[in-house]
Each structure stands twice: as structure tokens, then as C-alpha cells.
Amino acid sequence: MLYFIRIYTLLALLALFNTQSFGSEVNVYSARQEALIKPLLDEFTKKTNIKVNLVTGKGDALLTRLVNEGRNSPADVLLTVDAGRLHRAQESDVLQPIKDERINGLIPKNLRSIDNMWFGLSIRARVIMFASDRVNESELESYESLSDEKWKGRICIRSSSNIYNQSLVAGMIAQNGLEKTEAWLQKFTDNFARKPTGGDRDQIKSVAAGECDIAVSNSYYLGHMLNSSDLKQRAAAEQVTLFWPNQKDRGTHINISGAGVTKHSKNIENAKTLIAFLANDESQRWYADKNNEFPIRDNVEVSPTLDAWGPFIADQMNVSQLGKFNADAIKAMDRAGWK
């Protein structure tokens, strides 16, 4: 009898140990490069003693993996970039709604889904870059004004397959309606200096090289280039000036990097604690310093690079709209011949 009691006690202790071990971790699928997220995750572990198991990959590939894994997925948190991708994850039924006062208190309503399925962790602005020796800043005004004939053959931008461009157009559809956006797209694409190619850095380099006078790019790419150890990138970035569009009306188009708790998470509380940590002031300052992205709250100090660009008015539309109108945006871009 004593033997069975000892065995039972041992099994109970093992079960308790396994539960505590399991509960002291959180599994993260991240579309952010490891260098841009792991230091924060390491700091989270130091402060909470919660181990982070990190898997990195492309955003679309991670979403496919989550779908295929289903309820067997080990993932607790999906970290990715662009509200359009977060919306796709929500539509694919791999996330769950989260109610947490810490998270809601830290993340503004317009930077999280209206049903609390995902949450913004940094702000990314899609702006106009221009060559100040060939363009007078007074000539610039808005995204809409880029359809003007004076910009014919002078604009560089990447492919329509890029999610950042899709979200920009989706935001315009949400604000201006499909008909007006389609009319704008027809004229805007006529102003391209060349066939869309390359990434945002390539658009900035093209302005510096004189291939075009204007580029549309996410602001943090300019920040990365200005602070790069690559002298050629720095030289190119120094020849380009950033302009905040739509300051007289709705504000500059913004997007987010963000996170959601996966539908079949086994560590929900740890997942929520991690998201709250990534939204706190210390983490937000790190994002600004290292990633050249803007904090989700105005009261967080930014890096000298971001500060030098000056304050700007950001579009306050809920970023969920960027996912909602993504399909319409893609179709409209196709109809306009944006390759």
C-alpha cells in the first residue's frame, strides 16, 4: 500500500512539474526578422521568467503553417506586419478575441481590430519621398495629388503585389470610395517613371539616382538607410527628403506591426502578458530607436532620426479597414494596370 502511495505522489509531483513548466513559456510565430524582435523577447524573459520559443518566417508562410497545423499548432502568439496580413489571419480563423484591460489601456482603439482579435504594436507611415533639387516641397500635398499630370514619368513605387501598397489603396477606398479611388489609380499609374520593381529602399535609391523625382515608401526604410553602415545607402538616403501627405485633411496613411493570440493557444495568459509587454513604454522606445517605427502612443520618446522629421497628423481611421478593403484594392489596382 505504501508503495502505491509513493508512486501516486511521484506521479502527482511530475504532473505538477509538467504543468508549471508548460505554463512558464510562450510560443511565438514571428514575421519580424529575428534581430528586430529577439532582444525584446529576451528582455521579456528576464523580467517575467517566461521562456519565449521563437519561430521566424515570412508572413504568408507562417499563416499557412498555422492553418495547416490547426488545433495541433504549438503557437500562442502571431507577430506580423501590416493590418492587411492581420486581417487575413483573422479571416483564416487562426486567432481568438482577447479581453485584457492592460492591453486595451496601452493600445489605442484605432490601432486594434474592433473585435479585439489583434493589436498594433508599432506605427508605420507610408510617405512621399522627393528629390529636393528637382521638386519644390510646395508642389506636394496629398496622395491624391500624385495623379496630377505634372508628375507624369516622375514617380517610383513598388509592385501592386506588395501588401503596403494594397493597404494604402484600401485606405483610400475606405476614405474616398471605390469610384473615386479607381479614377485616381488610372491617372496615378500613368505617372510611373518605370515598371514597378524592387522594394522600398530601391525606390529611394531610384530618386537619388535621378530615375524618378518622387517615391512612395514606408518612412522607416529611410531611417534604416540614414543609419546604415553601408555608405552607399546613407549617401542615397541623404539625397532624399521626406514629406507627410494629407496634412490638410485626413492625415498621413499609417499601418502597423501587430500581434494576436492564436486560436488554439495553450498559454493564453502568457501570450497576453507578452503583448502587454511589447506595448509598454520601454518596448515602444526600443521599437523607435532600433526599428525606426513610430510608437503607438504620442507620449513615448522617439529617436533623433524620427524626431528630425518633425510631427505629423496621422489618419485616425481604424486600421481594420485596411484589411476589410484589401480585396477591392487588389482588383482596382489590377484594373488600373498597376503591375
The string of pLDDT tens digits covering residues 198-257 is 999 999 999 999 999 999 999 999 999 999 999 999 999 999 999 999 999 999 999 999
Mean pLDDT of 31-44: 92
The string of pLDDT tens digits covering residues 108-130 is 999 999 999 999 999 999 999 99
Predicted pLDDT of residue 3: 39
Predicted pLDDT of residue 23: 54
Q: Tell me, what amino acid is at 105?
A: G
Predicted pLDDT of residue 287: 83
Residues with Cβ within 8 Å of residue 206, at least 6 apart in sequence: 156, 193, 194, 198, 212, 215
Mean pLDDT of 302-325: 96
Whole-number average pLDDT of the chain: 92
How many other β-carbons are positioned within 10 Å of the β-carbon of residue 237? 24
Position with higher pLDDT, 32 vs 334: 334
Q: How far apart are CA 211 and CA 269, in angstroms?
A: 51
Residue 36's pLDDT band (cuts 50, 70, 90): confident
The string of pLDDT tens digits covering residues 146-197 is 999 999 999 999 999 999 999 999 999 999 999 999 999 999 999 999 999 9
Q: How far apart are CA 325 and CA 173, in angstroms?
A: 7
Question: Does the structure show a pLDDT above 80 at 15?
Answer: no
Q: How far apart are CA 67 and CA 88, in angstroms?
A: 11
Predicted pLDDT of residue 7: 42
Q: C-alpha grid cell for residue 239?
A: 539625397
Predicted pLDDT of residue 257: 96
Quick check: 85 and 163 in contact, CB under 8 A?
yes
Whether domain 125-253+315-335 has CATH 3.40.190.10: the reply is yes
Q: What is the CATH topology of the domain spanning 2-123+254-308?
A: D-Maltodextrin-Binding Protein; domain 2 (3.40.190)
Mean pLDDT of 51-64: 95
Q: How far apart are CA 223 and CA 124, in angstroms?
A: 12
How far CA 168 is from CA of 131, 173, 319, 331, in Å, comes to 22, 9, 11, 14
Whole-number percent of the chain with pLDDT over 90: 89
Q: Are strands 51-56 and 119-130 parallel, antiparallel or unpaired?
A: unpaired
Q: How far apart are CA 301 and CA 24, in angstroms?
A: 32
Least confident piece of the model among 17-21, 89-93, 132-136, 200-204: 17-21
Which residues of the chain are in CATH 3.40.190.10 domains?
2-123+254-308, 125-253+315-335
Any idea how long the chain is? Answer: 339
Predicted pLDDT of residue 33: 86
What are the strands, taking DSSP E only, across 93-177? Answer: 119-130, 155-156
Provide the 3-class DSSP secondary structure of residue 309: coil
The string of pLDDT tens digits covering residues 264-293 is 999 999 999 999 999 999 999 998 898 999
User: In the chain, which residue ranges form alpha helices assigned H by DSSP?
Assistant: 2-23, 38-48, 59-69, 83-91, 101-106, 163-176, 178-190, 200-209, 219-226, 231-237, 268-278, 281-286, 304-308, 320-324, 326-335
Question: Which DSSP string corresponds to 228-266?
Answer: -S-HHHHHHHTT-EEE-TTTTTT-B-EEEEEEEEBTT-S
The string of pLDDT tens digits covering residues 80-101 is 999 999 999 999 999 999 999 9
Q: How far apart are CA 140 and CA 137, in angstroms?
A: 6
Q: How far apart are CA 61 and CA 47, in angstroms?
A: 31
